[in-house]
Chain A
Amino acid sequence: MALNVVEISNVSKRFVIHRDKSLKERVLNRSRDRRHKQDFWALRDVNLDIELGSTVGLVGANGSGKSTLLKMIGGIHQPTTGSVRLRGRLAALLELGAGFHPDLTGRENVYLNAAILGISRAQTDRYFDAIVDFSGIEPFIDTQVKYYSSGMYVRLAFAVAVHVDPDILLVDEVLAVGDEPFQRKCMDRIRGFQAEGRSIVLVSHALDQVADLCDRAVVLEAGQVRADGPPREALRVLREDFEETRRHDVEEARRVSRRTRTEPAPSAEITAIDLVSDGAPRDRATLTPGDDLTVRVHVTSTHALDDWNVGIALNNPLGQMVLGTNAVMLGKPLPHVAGGSVVEFTLPGLMLGEGSYSVDAAISFDGLTEADRLSEGAALTVVASGQVVGYTHVANPDVNLVEGQ
């Protein structure tokens, strides 16, 4: 039986934006009070239950209310209507080093920050060496933190934060700190939390990270839950939205440039992607590793195409690119054409690992503006021998005992 640790029911949050703060302004503006107050609904009727042991990613565009929702779970904001109820110990990594005082030493700040996160003194004593060790700034632990570099600062803060012992951990955009080895340490720690059956609620713009870590993603849009489910599906919804926004932006940019330029900007559209393995070109294909793959990109255009480029990408189910290329990268810039055209890429001896992949194609002009993109225009399935896992394949892998009896 799945046990809920957080229950959010019908939660709405209204922010009142005051334009004035001082007594003088309030008195002077009393009659015009309306104009100096503005309502903003950050969340509307959100319902969400979070189970023990699940890792939930809250994703959405800027201003969609995900951080507000996280802060409501953390008790920092109170809901205007509805209720947020939880059980178990909660720790929030909302901003690293929020409780650090620049004039205190690293050691003093560790104790202070730990207390803010709800760790008892005895526990901090026990973890202190581990915290310092994790942060990797041992020589400076008795230096005032105002002399720390920003990297040292967040390292120490993160080290304290990951030594909390919560049932529910709230994380807001803080996983990408420090250099790469430190980031890996952080991720290992988060995975350790998952293995210990803790619940994690994560706000992130790094969709790959969400896809990678979470077993559930919630897409928020303008304060409402737009999608809720396995990360793959939820993220697809979000990516489509982002694509929509991007298209709109491109459209807008074109309109502006049309207004400023007399000659019309080139516009083109990718209508289809065909895969040719053996047999007729279709929008889906099944391969075994080592097969050749030909990708045909169909382009229509109302104008002549000059200084243009077409690229393709093979993505894994999480939307991460596994392989990508374009005409310029291949050293064969596309020549002037009068209108519609078909561009063919050949990928001989493609060694992809078993799984399904989607194929994207995009067209751009002048080396920068992406004019159009067709996401998931074709689907590719790779069936392999089962000897290796991952996104790449090797032929005839082998293993031998070379030492030992």
Chain B
Amino acid sequence: MSGASVDRETALSEEPFRPAGPTQGFLRGTVLSIRAIAGQSELLRLLTGRELKARYKDSTLGFFWSLARPLTMLLVYYVAIGKFLNAAQSPTRNPNGIPDFAVFIFAGLTAWQLFSDIVTNGTASIVTNSGLIKKVYVPREVFPLSVVGSSIVNFGIQLVVLAGATLLVRNFPTGSRWSYFVLALAVLVVFSTALALLLSAINVYLRDVQYLVEILIMILFWASPIVYSWHSVDGALHGLIKDIYLANPMTQVVLGFQRTFWVSGPSSSYPADLQMRLLVTLGISVALLWVSQRIFARLQANFAQEL
């Protein structure tokens, strides 16, 4: 026996046995899962890079395409709703008018795009990577998480454009407005990651989920004040329905984004206790993320044979 193999033997004899694959169990499993995922940060980074590089590889304009979609949507909504439906008017001329309409819409669209990217691509991520999952064991959470990573990079680019737009209208957000942004972004990332984890695992067993998600995303877009203002909802909805509308995490996130970037918005454009609501939602989202991860860990045991 060579020296290296003796070293190996002594080192291994002190190492305890561990089960092959993921650990079940609620609390202990959480700690081990987090440790396992943290140990794969390098892989996570590379997978994120792969998502980004591979998406627009061989196209001449490359990353520009990740901007093309939100910018086109902005243009469409600006023309259709802003101009044709007269939403883009100053409140002095039209009580329901929205000043700096382009900034208003783009703030909401940027938040929504991140949500929709994470949830739609995240849901499909396990099935898309089935080739890898069937052949190699890595903590499978890395696949939805790499979608989160690449979506955040795209989001960052849009954010730069959004910030540029606020400069252009000479209304760059300052001071305490940014606290809304941090809070809203935290809710957005945690909440959508939780959904992505949960749905990606369910999608392995029920492939319908990914198509259902696409449709729900389309409907839910209109359930948040992205292209219309909270002001008009405030007047139209009452009581319980209004509470339900406001409890939607994405409504709060979109409002938080608008509160940050849409500086010219009047205070009637937001519910009074937005900050408190966001904090509560953040707490719930963290709990949801934990539950999702546990369900994911439970379901992933049979991923390889179901794919």
- Could you list which residues of chain A lie within 8 angstroms of chain B, going by C-beta atoms? 3, 5, 7, 15, 21-24, 26, 52-53, 71-78, 83-88, 90, 92, 94-95, 98-99, 101, 103-104, 108, 111-112, 115-118, 120-121, 144, 167, 195-198
Return the chain A residue nearest B15 by Cβ. Answer: A87
Return the chain A residue nearest B16 by Cβ. Answer: A87
Chain B residues whose C-beta falls within 8 Å of the C-beta of A52 in the assembled complex: 8-9, 12
Return the chain B residue nearest A195 by Cβ. Answer: B2
Size of B's binding interface in residues, CB under 8 A: 43
**Contact digits for B121-136, partner A, Cβ 8 Å, 1 yes 0 no:** 0000000000111111
Pick the contact of A85: B17, B49, B208, B305 (CB < 8 A). Answer: B17
**A101 vs B2: C-alpha distance in the bound complex, in angstroms?**
39
Is the C-beta of B137 less than 8 angstroms from some C-beta in chain A? yes
**Contact digits for B1-30, partner A, Cβ 8 Å, 1 yes 0 no:** 110111011001101111111100000000
Chain B residues whose C-beta falls within 8 Å of the C-beta of A198 in the assembled complex: 5, 8
In addition to A77-B21, A83-B19, A112-B50, 18 A-B residue pairs with Cβ atoms within 8 Å of each other are A3-B9, A21-B206, A22-B206, A53-B9, A73-B20, A76-B136, A84-B19, A84-B21, A87-B15, A88-B12, A92-B135, A99-B136, A104-B57, A108-B49, A111-B46, A167-B8, A196-B2, A196-B5
Is the C-beta of B207 less than 8 angstroms from some C-beta in chain A? yes
Q: Are A101 and B17 in contact (CB under 8 A)?
A: no
Pick the contact of B302: A78, A83, A117, A197 (CB < 8 A). Answer: A78
Chain B residues whose C-beta falls within 8 Å of the C-beta of A88 in the assembled complex: 12, 15
**A22 vs B18: C-alpha distance in the bound complex, in angstroms?**
36
Q: Are B42 and A197 in contact (CB under 8 A)?
A: no
Within 269-307 of B, Cβ neighbours of A (below 8 Å) are at 301-302, 304-305
Q: Which 7 pairs across A and B sit closest by C-beta, in order of nearness?
A: A197-B5, A75-B21, A75-B137, A98-B135, A78-B301, A115-B43, A85-B17
Pick the contact of B20: A26, A86, A116 (CB < 8 A). Answer: A86
Q: Are A99 and B15 in contact (CB under 8 A)?
A: no
**Contact digits for B192-234, partner A, Cβ 8 Å, 1 yes 0 no:** 0000000000000011100000000000000000000000000
Return the chain B residue nearest A115 by Cβ. Answer: B43
Chain B residues whose C-beta falls within 8 Å of the C-beta of A84 in the assembled complex: 19-21
Return the chain B residue nearest A94 by Cβ. Answer: B135
Pick the contact of A112: B20, B46, B58, B133 (CB < 8 A). Answer: B46
Known contacts A22-B207, A22-B208, A78-B302: A116-B17 contact under CB 8 Å: no
Chain B residues whose C-beta falls within 8 Å of the C-beta of A94 in the assembled complex: 135-136
- Chain B min CB distance to A106 (Å): 14
Known contacts A21-B207, A167-B8, A196-B2: A99-B304 contact under CB 8 Å: no
Chain B residues whose C-beta falls within 8 Å of the C-beta of A112 in the assembled complex: 43, 46-47, 50
Chain B residues whose C-beta falls within 8 Å of the C-beta of A104 in the assembled complex: 50, 53-54, 57
Known contacts A52-B9, A115-B46, A167-B8: A72-B58 contact under CB 8 Å: no
Chain B residues whose C-beta falls within 8 Å of the C-beta of A92 in the assembled complex: 135-137
Q: Are A23 and B58 in contact (CB under 8 A)?
A: no
Q: Are A121 and B2 in contact (CB under 8 A)?
A: no
Q: Are B137 and A76 in contact (CB under 8 A)?
A: yes
- Chain A min CB distance to B42 (Å): 5
Is the C-beta of B163 less than 8 angstroms from some C-beta in chain A? no
- Chain B min CB distance to A332 (Å): 53
A-B contact list, 28 entries, CB within 8 Å: A22-B208, A24-B208, A52-B9, A52-B12, A53-B9, A73-B20, A74-B136, A76-B133, A77-B21, A77-B305, A78-B302, A85-B20, A86-B17, A86-B18, A86-B20, A98-B132, A99-B132, A103-B57, A104-B50, A108-B50, A111-B46, A112-B47, A112-B50, A118-B138, A144-B57, A196-B2, A197-B2, A197-B8
Known contacts A78-B302, A101-B50, A116-B136: A85-B207 contact under CB 8 Å: no
Return the chain B residue nearest A7 by Cβ. Answer: B17
Chain A residues whose C-beta falls within 8 Å of the C-beta of B301 in the assembled complex: 78
- Chain A min CB distance to B51 (Å): 9
**A94 vs B136: C-alpha distance in the bound complex, in angstroms?**
7
Chain A residues whose C-beta falls within 8 Å of the C-beta of B304 in the assembled complex: 71, 76-77
- Chain B min CB distance to A260 (Å): 41
**A115 vs B20: C-alpha distance in the bound complex, in angstroms?**
19
Known contacts A196-B2, A197-B5: A116-B54 contact under CB 8 Å: no
Known contacts A52-B8, A71-B304, A117-B136: A76-B53 contact under CB 8 Å: no
Return the chain A residue nearest B10 by Cβ. Answer: A3
Chain B residues whose C-beta falls within 8 Å of the C-beta of A197 in the assembled complex: 1-2, 4-6, 8-9
Q: Which residue of B8, B13, B58, B132 has the most chain A CB atoms within 10 A of its CB atom?
A: B8
Known contacts A3-B9, A73-B20, A196-B2: A121-B42 contact under CB 8 Å: yes
Q: Are B135 and A72 in contact (CB under 8 A)?
A: no
Chain B residues whose C-beta falls within 8 Å of the C-beta of A78 in the assembled complex: 21-22, 301-302
Q: Which residue of B2, B40, B133, B134 has the most chain A CB atoms within 10 A of its CB atom?
A: B134
Chain B residues whose C-beta falls within 8 Å of the C-beta of A87 in the assembled complex: 12, 15-18
Chain A residues whose C-beta falls within 8 Å of the C-beta of B43 in the assembled complex: 112, 115-116
Pick the contact of B13: A3, A77, A95, A117 (CB < 8 A). Answer: A3
**A304 vs B281: C-alpha distance in the bound complex, in angstroms?**
90
Q: Are A85 and B18 in contact (CB under 8 A)?
A: yes
- Chain B min CB distance to A104 (Å): 6
Return the chain A residue nearest B54 by Cβ. Answer: A103
- Chain B min CB distance to A121 (Å): 5
**A121 vs B44: C-alpha distance in the bound complex, in angstroms?**
12
Chain A residues whose C-beta falls within 8 Å of the C-beta of B8 in the assembled complex: 52, 167, 196-198
**A253 vs B134: C-alpha distance in the bound complex, in angstroms?**
38
**A24 vs B46: C-alpha distance in the bound complex, in angstroms?**
38
**A196 vs B2: C-alpha distance in the bound complex, in angstroms?**
7
Return the chain B residue nearest A124 by Cβ. Answer: B42
Chain B residues whose C-beta falls within 8 Å of the C-beta of A7 in the assembled complex: 17
Q: Which residue of A73, A95, A99 has the most chain B CB atoms within 10 A of its CB atom?
A: A99
Pick the contact of B138: A23, A85, A101, A116 (CB < 8 A). Answer: A116
**A74 vs B135: C-alpha distance in the bound complex, in angstroms?**
9
**A207 vs B155: C-alpha distance in the bound complex, in angstroms?**
55
**A198 vs B11: C-alpha distance in the bound complex, in angstroms?**
13
Q: Are B53 and A103 in contact (CB under 8 A)?
A: yes
Return the chain A residue nearest B305 by Cβ. Answer: A15
- Chain A min CB distance to B131 (Å): 6
Chain B residues whose C-beta falls within 8 Å of the C-beta of A120 in the assembled complex: 42
